[in-house]
Copies of this chain bind each other. A is one copy, B any other.
Amino acid sequence: MSDFAAACRAHFPGARPDDAFVAASLAIGRRYGFTADNTIACVGLCRDELSRELRARIQGAWGEAFNFSGLAGMLFVGRTGFMAAHAHAPISGGRERYVYFAMPHIAIDGAGTVGACARTGRPGPSSACGALVAFLAELRGSRVRLTTDPLDLEQTLLQQRLMEVVPHDHRPDLVEITRAARRIIADDLERMIKLTLDPEQADCLAFTGIQIHGPDGGYVEPGPSWAVIDGARRPIDPGAFEAAISPGAGA
């Protein structure tokens, strides 16, 4: 096993190749009646250009996606953004269908170093997620900027959200803070769906997780995911991803 694979397995035991994750999302979607033709995708990943590969795979499977991205994958898009995306959805059988993908990201390099990656044309190591690394650096220095800064809006809002969930006198590492970001993003997505989805006319699927950049490709560890069908929230079992992509599953 490569150093990357060992580190990825240790920290993100549920990670799988991003193309398998996207194929699983399609297979799971089909069970609920969601297809590329009758559904609009909304994709919230980090703004980092590394995130684009997963976005492209999702769009390859689900079609052109409304762009929900923010620093660290945070859903700053707000109610008008959600409502605009909904207003662009296909209407099939009298109903609209939305599929959301929302997750933070992290890199692991070939030596198994968490947070490290290479950038095209740039010597030396780089890091991802830069916004979460920046937060941890401020935390180490006990100088976390928490006042909303109009010139650094997304980072200061991100830091407010993270600081609310970091226990005082505890120094999280990058994996821990990435998991915290995933939980915040899932909470925000759940809240925004409750606020904007009209169960009389629309159903949705919500996929959260963690995007992982490896030296030879991308991975996703699926997180809590759910469907809202006719107003009823149905959790998607983590095993559904495994089943959907196992040989013979027809994914």
By a beta-carbon cutoff of 8 Å, the part of chain A in contact with chain B is: 37-38, 40, 45, 47-52, 59, 63-69, 71, 76-81, 84-85, 87-92, 119-123, 126, 130-131, 134, 149, 151-157, 191-192, 195
Contact = CB atoms under 8 A, between A and B. Distances in A.
Contact of A87 (B50, B126, B156): B126
Contacts of A84: 47-48, 71, 130-131, 134
A67 B51 contact: yes
Q: Copy number of this protein in the oligomer?
A: 2
13 contacts: A47-B67, A48-B67, A48-B84, A49-B88, A63-B120, A71-B81, A79-B149, A80-B152, A81-B154, A84-B134, A88-B119, A90-B121, A92-B121
Contacts of A131: 80-81, 84
Contacts of A51: 67
A67 B67 CA distance: 9
Given A67-B67, A131-B84, A122 B89 contact: yes
A52 B81 contact: no
A65 B79 CA distance: 26
Contacts of A122: 88-91
A90 B126 CA distance: 11
A216 B2 CA distance: 49
B59 A47 contact: no
B126 A88 contact: yes
Contacts of A66: 47-49
Given A47-B81, A121-B90, A154 B67 contact: no
A238 B33 CA distance: 50
Contacts of A152: 78-80
